[in-house]
Structures are given as structure tokens and as C-alpha cells.
Amino acid sequence: MDWRDEGILLSMRPHGETSAIIEVLTAGHGRHMGVVRGGASRRMAAMLQPGTGLTLDWRARLDEHIGSFTVEPLKSRAHLLADRLALAGLMAVCALLHEAVPEREPHPALWQRTLGLMDALGLEGWTAAYLRWELCLLEEIGFGLDLSTCAVTGATEGLAYVSPKSGRAVTAAGAGDWADRLIALPEGLGDEGPMGPGAVLMGLRLTGFFLDRELRPVLHDRPLPEARSRLVDLIARSV
């Protein structure tokens, strides 16, 4: 069994004296793990950092085996080490992918969104891209939010809340006396335009509610990864 693909490294841990086990998100094979021979060496360890783009050759005797990777670097993202906020964003992405995405299940839309986000980290407005990445993640795990029309009135303008039950948007008029039971929807989340830190933070509270609810069974009632909480805290300090 063998294949060749492009991937983004999510994590690496030592395996034996000289090898390492890496976890990657790939374009065509989803989240995948494998052994890298010599991966614990100083030369390889410098390359096998979270966020690094890789060309991967995977081989195993049987498909269900963990298999081994031969890796070649495609894109280093070591520059993010000097940007505390961008590094927190990178680690939040890696942690959520590890917890939320089933192993060896392709997610082409999520791959494209993740690749775009990795290239945007550290650039102006990247926190809005991260927030929309979480929306994509929710879609891929089976609970996409419907932010197109009001669930009550059918209106497409003035959307102000999201129902915690259905994940559908609601206008202020449609919410009525139920507004205090709904989750605030920041303006602009449903498109691809810029968003300020306050709006991003509001959006992260929204996506965090649904991610927590949907991943609770997977996480065995543990909270969302600490890496995400760290990112939210850093964004909150800039508001």
C-alpha cells in the first residue's frame, strides 16, 4: 500500500531512539499518521515543526497499518515563531484538527481552507480568516451554521443572532422576547470581508459554543483544546 500527497504537519513525537511519529492533514487522504525514520535527528526535527508544508510518500504492508512516511519540505512556517498571536492561531488549528477530524477521512474543502489560513497567518486580518476556518470545520463535522436567512422571517438583512438549537440566523425583529436566549452574530461573519478584533471575538464565542457542543462526545466531556482558549485570550487582550 502506498500513496503520494501534499500535507501540513500537525504534530510530531519521538518514536524509539531515532524515529518520530508525525500527524499530518493531507489534501487527498485526510488526517493521517505515520513513522518517519530518522525523524528524531536534529536535522529532521528542525523540519518537522507544526505548520510545515510537506510532500509525503506513505507506505505500509497493509492499509490498516500505521505505515511510514518519506517526507520532503515544501514550505516552512518557522517565521510564525516570532509572532505570538499567529503562533497561537497555528497551534489552535493543529489541536482542533487533531480532535475533530476522523483519521484517514478526506475533507477537500477543509484542506483548502486550512491551506489558505496557514498562508494568511501573521498577515493583516488573519484572525477573521481563522474564525471562518472554524465555521468550515463545523460544516465538515456535520453541523454547519446557516447564516444566510432569518429562520423566523426569511429576511436576509439585519441578521443579529444565531439559534443555539438549530444553528440558524435570526434578525432582531424575529428574535423578539427570545433574544436573551440566542447567541450574538457579528456583522460580516457570513461573507469574506474584514472584521475587527471585537467582531472576531464575538464570532469565536459563537463558533466555540457549537464546537464545544459537537465535540463533547469525542472529547469525553473534556473542554475544547487549551490551544484554542489561549488564542481567544490573546485576541481578547487586543479588543
Tell me, what's the pLDDT at 42? 86
C-alpha cell at 66: 500505521
Is the pLDDT reported for residue 239 higher than 90? no
CB-CB contact of 212 with 138 (8 Å): no
Tell me, what's the pLDDT at 123? 96
Per-residue pLDDT of 123-144, as tens digits, reads 999 999 999 999 999 999 999 9
Is the pLDDT reported for residue 45 higher than 90? no
User: How would you write the chain as a 3-class SS string?
Assistant: CEEEEEEEEEEEEEECCCEEEEEEEECCCEEEEEEECCCCCHHHHHHCCCCCEEEEEEECCCCCCCCEEEEEEEECCHHHHHCHHHHHHHHHHHHHHHHHCCECCCCHHHHHHHHHHHHHCCCCCHHHHHHHHHHHHHHHCCCCCECCCCCCCCCCCCEEEECCCCCEEEEHHHHHHHHHHCEECCCCCCCCCCCCHHHHHHHHHHHHHHHHHHHCCCCCCCCCCHHHHHHHHHHHHCC
Q: What is the mean pLDDT of residues 87-96?
A: 98
* Residue with cell string 457549537: 210
Tell me, what's the pLDDT at 235? 96
Which of the four pLDDT bands, split at 50, 70 and 90, describes residue 63? confident
Tell me, what's the pLDDT at 60? 94
Tell me, what's the pLDDT at 191? 84
Is the pLDDT reported for residue 182 higher than 90? yes
Which of the four pLDDT bands, split at 50, 70 and 90, describes residue 55? very high
Is the pLDDT reported for residue 160 higher than 90? yes
- What are the residues whose beta carbons fall under 8 Å from the beta carbon of 191, sequence distance 6 or more? none
Per-residue pLDDT of 186-224, as tens digits, reads 999 988 888 999 999 999 999 999 999 999 998 999 999
**pTM of the full structure:** 0.94
